[in-house]
Amino acid sequence: MTNKIKKSGFTLAEVLITLGIIGVVAAMTLPALVGKYKEKQRVTQLKKAYSILNQAFLMAVKDYGTPDNWGLVKTATGEVDEEGNQILDNSGSIKAMGILKKYIKQKSFAENEIIGYVRSLDGREAWWPWQASSDKYIYIADGTVLAQGWISSSDGCPNDKCGDFWVVFPSRNMKIGVDVFNFAFTTKGFVPFGSENDTSNPFPKKCSMTDTSVAVDQQGRAVVRHG
């Protein structure tokens, strides 16, 4: 017998939690020293994308339940190929995006289009050229790219964490924390990396320009600064 997701409205607690998450946008900042005009423009774009994501999330939850009920599969399989590269299962990411994109107005783009090259906050090469794919990416009207990251667990969403998500402002050469931003994908919505209870991505450390202990693909990932 197939279990059916019960459709219902949101409780007062759910609404309050959501409002709390949305309120986090007021603390969003750029961790790099950029021109004031560019910083103000980028923060406005980031808040807009964040709002679109959480509106889509609320509608998805109403129709499908919270993400821990979506049957998502963990991306990292724990296996490697003959060359020592990780074997990944992207079906969970594709499924999550397939649900969310039903509630987001999309702009067309070329399959496998190169979004840009990604560097760390201090300019080191972080990873490969980023190529778009229609099953995991969404272009919104202003050209911003929304991209589902890895799913962190196949056992629901332990501690409410399901995986991560990216908001990308395409250009040939992009920096994490300036053009590329990371969010936690949780059962309560999308939460910016670096939020108050995010001990894995503390703002001062992840956005330090001098702390060489931060991995090149991690530097700049915190989105929110406190104090």
Tens digit of each residue's pLDDT (9 = 90 or more) over 101-159: 999 998 888 788 888 888 887 788 877 678 888 888 899 988 899 999 999 988 889 88
Encode pLDDT of 23-36 as tens digits.
Answer: 555 555 554 444 55
| pLDDT value at 216 more than 80 | no
The residue whose two tokens read 């409205």 is 9
What number is the average pLDDT over the span 149-178?
Answer: 89
pLDDT at 119: 86
Q: What are the tens digits of pLDDT across the range 185-202?
A: 999 999 887 655 655 655
Rounded Cα–Cα distance for residues 24 and 26 (Å): 5
Domain count for the chain: 1
Residue 52 is assigned to a structural domain of this protein: yes
Q: Which residues face 165 on adjacent strands?
A: 148, 183
215 in any annotated domain = no
Digit-coded pLDDT (tens) for 66-108: 999 999 999 999 898 888 888 989 999 999 999 999 999 988 8
- Sheet-wide strand order for 125-131: 125-131, 114-119, 173-175
Structure tokens at 35: 């021109």
Rounded to the nearest 10°, the torsion over CA 201, 202, 203, 208 is -90
Token reading at 23: 């309120």
* Average pLDDT of span 4-24: 57
Residue 40 lies in a domain: yes
The kind and range of the H/E element at 49 are helix 36-64
* Local confidence band at 6 (pLDDT 50, 70, 90 cut-offs): low
- State the pLDDT at residue 196: 55
Query: Is there a domain that residue 2 lies in?
Result: no
Task: Report how far apart the first and last C-alpha atoms of the chain are (Å, whole number).
Answer: 52
CA 175 – CA 182 distance, rounded (Å): 12
Residue 225: inside a domain: no
Q: Is residue 39 part of a domain?
A: yes
Q: Binning pLDDT at 50, 70 and 90, where does residue 62 land?
A: very high
- Is a pLDDT exceeding 90 seen at residue 17? no
114-119 and 86-88: which strand pairing? Answer: unpaired
Distance CA 117, CA 130 (A): 6
Neighbours of 91 (CB within 10 A): 15
Residue 19 pLDDT class (50, 70, 90 cuts): low
Range of the domain at 94: 12-206
Task: Specify if 131 maps to a domain.
Answer: yes
Answer whether residue 178 is part of any domain: yes
Both structure tokens of 82:
């003959």
pLDDT at position 155: 85
Which residues are CB-neighbours of 17 under 8 A, at least 6 positions away? 188, 189
Q: What is the structure's pLDDT at 223?
A: 61
pTM to 2 decimal places: 0.75
pLDDT at 2: 46
Place of tokens 């399989």: 77
Nearby residues of 60 by Cβ (< 8 Å), 6 or more positions away: 99, 100, 102, 103
Give CA–CA dist 170/140, Å, rounded.
12
Give me the pLDDT at residue 108, please.
Answer: 83
